[in-house]
Structure 1
Amino acid sequence: MSAAEIDGFADRIRKHQGGMISAWVGIPDAMLVNHLAQEAFDAVVLDMQHGMWDMPAAANAVAQVRLAGKPAIARIPVGDFASASRLLDAGASGIIAPMINSAEDARALVRTTKYPPLGERSWGPSLALNHTGLSADAYLKTANELTVAIAMIETRAALDAIDGILGVVGIDGIFIGPSDLSIALSNGDQVAPNAAEIDSAMKHAVSCCRAHGKFACAFAGDGERAGELLKFGFDFVIAGAETAQLRSGARRAINAARRVASGN
């Protein structure tokens, strides 16, 4: 995939061109990211909220993802909007911001991810220029369209404010965090990301996105759940975290070896 095709990610997701499946990585190792990027994922998300990434490691991982011909997305820590612009400078194709609970939170995200007139992103995209091959002038004119700002919806307040959040110019889409949403909707009683109440909230979120002409993303714990969410109409889903995939693969190998060795 060429740089132009990688940087067409934003256009594809905005136009709802087929359900996308992404890897999700919290272990701060660019080589691990490179391996996952060789698989048939449509993108790789670096989780800087609950993962252990720092900025230099994340910038290296963005480069590895792009080298493999895929777009890299980063989830920033809560409220760390300064990191959002730095990750875009490093060549990330999009930013996922957690705990966006109001239109004002959404506007704060836009201010640091979009250049004027939409936002106030500061200039300094040296690595992004290297990755895209664009001149400074061309990048400035197109960056707001080449990159996406994604607001996470994961609280009762966010659900109540979803139309206001989606109505903020510069917010390109939303990302549902079903585990936190289930905690919020159960008043702290349970983590149940696949509960019927969450399904209902997710379907409502997709409908709101369609009404506003925006895209919908969500986290799924595994591939089967990811497929269900694509059927709901989500444009971009996670098919489980790398830690779960790593341990699941290890268990399968161990169990297979024990089974063959025992003659069963």
Structure 2
Amino acid sequence: MTLKARLAAGETLYTAWSGVPDALTVEIVARQGFDAITLDMQHGGHTEDSVLRSVPVLQAAGKPVLVRIPVGRFDMASRALDFGAEAVIAPMVNSVADAQALAAAMKYPPLGGRSWGPTFAFPRHGRGDQAEWLHESNHRTLAFAMIETRAALDALDDILAVPGIDGIFVGPSDLSIAWTNGGTVDSTLEAMMETVATIAARAKAAEKYTAIYIVNPAIAGRMAKMGYGLLAMGAEHTLIEIGARTLLADVRKSVNGK
């Protein structure tokens, strides 16, 4: 079942967030209980090469692959799909023009202008023929536009209306910086929570998918109740820190008796 099909069915899905550009590390993350894995090229260390090599590892583990491309690198959106990703997250989509550029890179004609050449993706997919691949690709792949600035908020309804944009992805840390005019970074800033809820509601009304990054796990339930269907979390640094802290605490408790 594809990522899109599960979201369309109303499931709440959890994606890990990989920033370490190593297929062996990605393989370890893929064995955990996440529904999908996102390879981060914006703030993470993933490159075209590491994405190319990580996709089959994740597919072998049965995990859908999302790729967050660098700012403005809509050409990489097409390449991520050609490598076998199911979804692309584009940061700093602040205007209709940005959204149109993302959609053009993500979708084959007549919806977009994606060039033909699934050299890796088609054999990795392993089903059907190339005609079927072509006809299904626009429906199967997901283009997420990140909403994280005041400009994006102002243009939200127009961004949602762009054909080929399948959903929005809220970046709450950047949104908090924009909300406070550079005053603070706080992904759970209460002053912006009503707006975060409104973004989800407007996306739902436009029949688009919704996603958000979870920095503080305690707020995840609140985000799900707002209507966010894809919750992103758990970069390797966080997973290692939490795992090490928990393990050491348990060992010390056993050794010290308290």
**What aligned pairs does 1:39-50 form with structure 2 within 5 A after superposition?**
39-50=32-43
Stretches of 4+ aligned residues off by more than 3 angstroms? none
CA distance in 1, matches of 2:188, 2:9: 24
Say which SS state the counterpart of residue 118 (structure 1) adopts: coil
Task: Indicate the residue corresponding to 1:121 in structure 2.
Answer: 114
Say which SS state the counterpart of residue 120 (structure 2) adopts: helix
Say which SS state the counterpart of residue 69 (structure 1) adopts: coil
**What aligned pairs does 1:1-264 form with structure 2 within 5 A after superposition?**
5=1, 8-13=2-7, 15-133=8-126, 134-264=128-258
Deviations 1:54-92 (A, max 9, x none): 111111111111110111000000001111101100000
Paired residues in the alignment total 257
Unaligned runs of 5+ in 2: none
Deviations 1:79-112 (A, max 9, x none): 0111110110000001000000011110000111
CA contact 2:16–2:38 (8 Å) conserved in 1: yes
CA distance in 2, matches of 1:217, 1:72: 15
CA distance in 2, matches of 1:22, 1:180: 19
CA contact 1:44–1:65 (8 Å) conserved in 2: yes
Unaligned runs of 5+ in 1: none
Q: TM-score, normalised by structure 2?
A: 0.96
CA contact 2:188–2:216 (8 Å) conserved in 1: no
**Alpha-carbon distance, 1:16 to partner:** 4.6
**Alpha-carbon distance, 1:226 to partner:** 2.5
What do you get for the CA RMSD once the two structures are aligned?
1.3
Q: TM-score, normalised by structure 1?
A: 0.94
CA contact 1:82–1:112 (8 Å) conserved in 2: yes
Deviations 1:138-174 (A, max 9, x none): 1111110110100000001101111010000100000
Cα distance change on mapping 1:99 and 1:16 into 2, 3 Å: farther
CA contact 1:226–1:238 (8 Å) conserved in 2: no
CA contact 2:122–2:130 (8 Å) conserved in 1: yes
CA contact 2:160–2:206 (8 Å) conserved in 1: yes
CA contact 2:108–2:115 (8 Å) conserved in 1: yes
Say which SS state the counterpart of residue 114 (structure 2) adopts: coil
**Alpha-carbon distance, 1:258 to partner:** 2.2
**Alpha-carbon distance, 1:227 to partner:** 2.8
CA distance in 1, matches of 2:208, 2:65: 20
